[in-house]
Amino acid sequence: MMKTFPQIPVDMVANVMLAAAEEHTGDTNTHTVYHVGSSRRNPMTLKQFRDVVIRYFLESPLIGHKSMPIVASNVKILSSMTLVTLYMFLRHKLPLQILRLASMICPWRYGDEYIHKSRKVKTIMRLVELYKHYALVKLVFDDKNVEKLRIKRKNVTKEMGVSLGIDPKCIDWEDYFMATHIPGLITHVLEEQTTNKKYY
């Protein structure tokens, strides 16, 4: 079974919170849990996510520090933390230790390169630790309560002429990432972190 990538736009989470708050107004003894997610009703696999991201950056590459486009390469999908750790050791940490030795012998030649690559590996490992619980998850979150809430809210929103989007089935993941999520990250995160709008 291909692992799903559990994600949901934050505005949909906010919509569920608003709908649930209205639904339970005045309830003092209610403890209903609402899992807002897409892994059950509209799953996206890690492979699909990877393919969309690569396609985006092939069509709209970022510009590197030498004013050259950064080439999007195929990303390996590893199925367990053990494989991730082994891959990082063989592909990055072991060569980094060899570079460290070279930087001690010839610091004028390899010192800066070692420092730069060491920082990159540490950043990657922090991201692995941060996201391992999401990217390597084998769970499908039960969103039955959100679905019940959506069905109840359907009639209310028809009467009001307003709809709170709380149905993950309506999300076209490819369009969402290509037209909204990735461009938003570039505009509001990467460009704000750099003064000359160049990345890495």
* Per-residue pLDDT, 163: 66
Q: Mark whether 62 and 142 lie in a shared domain.
A: yes
**Would you say 48 and 179 are in contact if contact means Cβ atoms under 8 Å apart?**
no
Q: Mark whether 11 and 106 lie in a shared domain.
A: no
* Per-residue pLDDT, 145: 93
Domains contained in the chain, number: 2
Q: Mark whether 92 and 9 lie in a shared domain.
A: no
Tokens, residue 51: 């393919």
Tokens, residue 180: 């909204």
Q: Mark whether 149 and 51 lie in a shared domain.
A: yes
Ordered DSSP codes for 73-112? -PPP--SSHHHHHHHHIIIIIHHHHHHHHHHHH-HHHHHH
Backbone phi, psi, residue 162, to 5°: -125, 140
Q: Mark whether 143 and 129 lie in a shared domain.
A: no
Flag whether pLDDT at 63 surpasses 50.
Answer: yes
Task: Report the pLDDT averaged over residues 47-68.
Answer: 90
pLDDT tens figures, 81-117: 889 889 999 999 999 999 999 989 998 888 889 999 9
Flag whether pLDDT at 14 surpasses 90.
Answer: yes
Closest Cα partner for 92 from 138, 45, 65, 127? 127
Q: Whole domain around residue 116: which residue ranges?
A: 80-135
Q: Mark whether 142 and 131 lie in a shared domain.
A: no
- The SS3 call for residue 69 is strand
Q: Mark whether 65 and 144 lie in a shared domain.
A: yes
pLDDT tens figures, 135-179: 777 778 888 999 999 888 877 666 655 567 888 888 999 999 999
Q: Mark whether 156 and 64 lie in a shared domain.
A: yes
Q: Mark whether 104 and 93 lie in a shared domain.
A: yes
Q: Mark whether 57 and 11 lie in a shared domain.
A: yes
Flag whether pLDDT at 29 surpasses 70.
Answer: yes
User: For the chain, what is the mean pLDDT?
Assistant: 85
Domain boundary among the residues 135, 152, 180 is at: 135
Q: Mark whether 71 and 145 lie in a shared domain.
A: yes
d(CA 24, CA 167): 19
Flag whether pLDDT at 199 surpasses 60.
Answer: no
Q: Which residue has the higher pLDDT, 21 or 163?
A: 21
* Per-residue pLDDT, 160: 59
* Per-residue pLDDT, 81: 85
Domain boundary among the residues 90, 118, 135 is at: 135
Flag whether pLDDT at 121 surpasses 70.
Answer: yes
Q: Mark whether 162 and 73 lie in a shared domain.
A: yes
pLDDT tens figures, 73-86: 888 888 788 898 89
* Per-residue pLDDT, 200: 47
* Per-residue pLDDT, 138: 73
Flag whether pLDDT at 69 surpasses 50.
Answer: yes
Closest Cα partner for 56 from 172, 181, 191, 169? 181
Please tell me the pTM assigned to this model.
0.72
